[in-house]
Structure 1
């Protein structure tokens, strides 16, 4: 194993430790203090914490985009089906295709994937 791999492993290990500390409810100030005592520069500790918090926010945004997009899409499909089923009972009945709601759902899902893949 060369030096670059050792350095990357150390960085990955440090990030995992900080993720665990954040998950266990330790305050940001306390984490910075603990890392500083171990020889990590305060600005680097803050950068790690900010990056991990941004990643968590991005995952939440992605999940919300999928859920909302799915709700819009399924609502559009369901209401279109219900409109068609109602119109099918009448000869020459007309029905609505709620394509706007379906397009909104699909675009919201795509937006979520684009934001997720951008990282």
Structure 2
């Protein structure tokens, strides 16, 4: 258990080093050269770099899903409210409900969160 914790900390430290180097604007080749000095294998470093890029992409996709879903929910609620107000102004007891837009927005947000967690 202790060895596993030490290994996890080491792996996290390597990931953090790669994140720092990427934020500094180093290329993949420069990062590989720097980490090879720490006796790491190039293929492992490339795997870590790929994982960091995938992590960045997942965060971007989550933000897009939340933004898109939120816009759909808001637009759906506004359309429903306008439909109700219009029917009220026309002294009508019938109005259209557009809950599909709202449900699609909620599903989009949940889907983004589920995909980000996996």
Task: Report matched runs for 1:18-97 at 5 Å.
Answer: 18-92=18-92, 94-97=94-97
TM-score (norm 1): 0.91
TM-score of the pair, normalised by structure 2: 0.92
Gaps of 5+ in 2: none
Which residues of structure 1 form unaligned runs of 5+?
none
Aligned length: 118
Is 64-73 or 17-26 further displaced after alignment? 17-26
Distance 1:30 1:79 in 2: 53
Of residues 17-26 and 39-48 in structure 1, the stretch that sits farther from structure 2 once superposed is 17-26
Q: CA deviation at 1:103?
A: 1.5
What CA distance in whole angstroms lies between the structure 2 residues aligned with 1:8 and 1:114? 24
Aligned CA RMSD, in angstroms, stands at 1.5
Q: How far 1:38 sits from its partner (Å)?
A: 2.1
